[in-house]
């Protein structure tokens, strides 16, 4: 990532790509084998394969269009990597501003199908703030609580399998990541992660167990992570969340916008299938 850029799109795309790359490349053997992980860097972005992922989430290619342009040849190489790995399906995530003029032809050549979109948010850190209005205890997660934290986040996202829990728990040991939790007494009921890369802080992995929603856990976790990002010297804060369908609400989006993060663009997911 160009650490001198102030382009919100490049900041948001690059830190997400680096975070996802570290999640998967640093995953312990249980996760590597259980998810069938293989990763590579390509064209200024990252290509991540999890051929055994039952959720069709962890195989994705992203971070393209800044160090090098997005081209037919680049997408050819991405798809070739997935074919070599035996990956059944993957998602290409490319910011709309860097899609090439011939993207429709590239899409058709590889059978890429539109598959929902994500909203990307980014703001200078001086423009964001959040209040911790909750009766839950909120703080960083240490190694002693790593497995419980990872189990809660995985369960809240509907992805609680041993490989997934092991991969998330490992992030506690990564120097760029700081997991946070909300406790009800001695029990973790919500979690989230902060990933700082250069001058950019990513708010990610926020999730609360269903029976503890509505108690301010995520707003408090946003506030705690913003304080940690400032302490780490971050100049920008970014996040992503699913784009709600017309007439539907997304509480994560509401929490992030209330903290001052601005929606910068919607990024279409492009689903490839072998």
> Are both 14 and 132 inside the same structural domain?
no
Tell me which of 91, 117, 143 is where a domain ends.
117
B/e letters for 81-119, b = 16+ CB within 10 Å, e = fewer, are bbeebebeebbbbbbeeebbeebeebbeebebeeeeebb
> Are both 31 and 147 inside the same structural domain?
no
Question: Is 243 in a helix, a strand, or coil?
Answer: coil
**Sequential pLDDT tens for the chain (274 residues):** 444 667 999 999 999 999 999 999 999 999 999 999 999 999 999 999 999 999 999 999 999 999 999 999 999 999 999 999 999 999 999 999 999 999 999 999 999 999 999 999 999 999 999 888 899 999 999 999 999 999 999 999 999 999 999 999 999 999 999 999 999 999 999 999 999 999 999 999 999 999 999 999 999 999 999 999 999 999 999 999 999 888 888 899 999 999 999 999 999 999 999 9
pLDDT at 3: 47
Q: Is the pTM of this model over 0.85?
A: yes
| Sheet with strand 60-62: strands edge to edge | 37-42, 45-50, 60-62, 89-93, 262-273, 113-124, 236-242, 200-208, 187-197, 177-184, 137-140
Range of the domain at 201: 125-266
> Are both 131 and 25 inside the same structural domain?
no
Domain membership of residue 271 (yes or no) is no
- Phi, psi angles (nearest 5°) of residue 202: -105, 125
Domain membership of residue 159 (yes or no) is yes
> Are both 150 and 249 inside the same structural domain?
yes
> Are both 148 and 70 inside the same structural domain?
no
């Amino acid at each position: 990532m160009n650490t001198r850029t102030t382009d919100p799109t490049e900041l948001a795309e690059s830190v997400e790509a680096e975070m996802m790359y570290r999640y998967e490349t640093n995953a312990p053997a249980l996760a590597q084998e259980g998810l069938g992980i293989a990763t590579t860097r390509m064209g200024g972005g990252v290509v991540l394969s999890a051929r055994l992922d039952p959720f069709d989430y962890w195989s994705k290619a992203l971070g393209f269009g800044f160090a090098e342009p997005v081209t037919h040849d680049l997408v050819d190489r991405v798809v070739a990597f997935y074919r070599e790995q035996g990956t059944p399906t993957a998602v290409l995530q490319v910011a709309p501003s860097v899609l090439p003029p011939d993207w429709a032809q590239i899409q058709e050549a590889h059978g890429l199908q539109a598959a929902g979109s994500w909203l990307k948010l980014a703001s200078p850190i001086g423009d964001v703030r959040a209040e911790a209005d909750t009766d839950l205890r909120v703080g960083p997660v240490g190694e002693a609580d790593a497995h419980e934290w990872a189990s809660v986040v995985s369960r809240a996202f509907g992805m609680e399998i041993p490989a997934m829990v092991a991969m998330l728990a490992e992030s506690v040991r990564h120097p760029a990541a700081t997991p946070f939790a909300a406790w009800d007494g001695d029990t973790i009921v919500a979690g989230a992660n902060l990933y700082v890369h250069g001058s950019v802080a990513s708010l990610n992995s926020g999730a609360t167990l269903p029976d503890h929603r509505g108690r301010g856990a995520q707003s408090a976790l946003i506030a705690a992570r913003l304080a940690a990002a400032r302490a780490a010297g971050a100049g920008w804060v970014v996040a992503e969340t699913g784009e709600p369908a017309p007439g539907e609400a997304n509480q994560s989006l509401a929490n992030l916008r209330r903290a001052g993060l601005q929606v910068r663009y919607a990024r279409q997911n492009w689903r490839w299938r072998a």
